[in-house]
């Protein structure tokens, strides 16, 4: 599983998302994901909110990986956002979040869903790549950082 399998174009990067809360971030991500996948944004938002109720997807160090499974999603799908201003995401380290990698999977994805989560988590654990992501504000540059990294560090 490579990042390119999740992010197929710079259109799946939101380089300067302006939100003031976790809920607003999830709504805006659901809207963009809906536009790209054709799945209704409310379905996406509801599944993300349901997952957050089980426990935060704020994994620490300013990073969140909201995710969910939907019957209408046909293949693994990713969306990356760099927030203009960090927001409280109830992260495990209690730090605000400014980098979000949304992950949607088909309902029967099983192991592929877990592999994708692990791949994204490994990528975003790298402090150097996160610094570069925080310093970039163009979708193409962020996309290149995310996908070039995948070439040199295969899952």
Catalytic residue status for 67: yes
Give pLDDT, residue 155.
39
Those residues with Cβ within 8 angstroms of residue 29's Cβ, 6 or more apart along the chain or in another chain:
14, 17, 44, 48, 66, 79, 81, 100, 102
Residue among 67, 85, 113, 151 flagged as catalytic: 67
pTM, to two decimals:
0.93
What are the domain boundaries of the chain? Answer: 3-149
At residue 17, φ and ψ (nearest 5 deg) are -70, 125
**Which one of 3.90.1150.10, 3.40.930.10, 3.40.50.450, 1.10.260.40 gives the CATH number of domain 3-149?**
3.40.930.10
Give pLDDT, residue 25.
97
Could you tell me which residues are beta bridge partners of residue 82? 99
Give pLDDT, residue 150.
43
Give pLDDT, residue 21.
97
Give pLDDT, residue 6.
95
Q: What is the pLDDT along the chain (155 residues), one digit of tens a residue?
A: 889 999 999 999 999 999 999 999 999 999 999 999 999 999 999 999 999 999 999 999 999 999 999 999 999 999 999 999 999 999 999 999 999 999 999 998 888 999 999 999 999 999 999 999 999 999 999 999 999 854 444 43
Give pLDDT, residue 1.
81
Give pLDDT, residue 110.
82
Give pLDDT, residue 130.
96
């Amino acid at each position: 599983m490579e990042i390119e399998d999740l992010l197929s174009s710079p259109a799946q990067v939101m380089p300067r998302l302006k939100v003031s809360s976790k809920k607003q971030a999830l709504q805006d991500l659901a809207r963009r994901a809906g536009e790209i996948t054709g799945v209704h944004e409310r379905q996406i938002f509801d599944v993300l909110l349901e997952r957050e109720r089980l426990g935060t997807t704020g994994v620490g160090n300013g990073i969140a990986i909201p995710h969910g499974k939907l019957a209408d999603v046909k293949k693994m799908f990713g969306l990356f956002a760099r927030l203009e201003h960090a927001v409280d995401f109830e992260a495990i380290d209690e730090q605000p979040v400014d980098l979000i990698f949304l992950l949607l999977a088909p309902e029967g994805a099983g192991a592929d869903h877990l592999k994708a989560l692990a791949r994204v988590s490994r990528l975003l654990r790298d402090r150097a790549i996160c610094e570069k992501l925080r310093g970039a504000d163009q979708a193409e540059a962020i996309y290149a950082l995310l996908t070039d990294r995948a070439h040199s560090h295969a899952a």
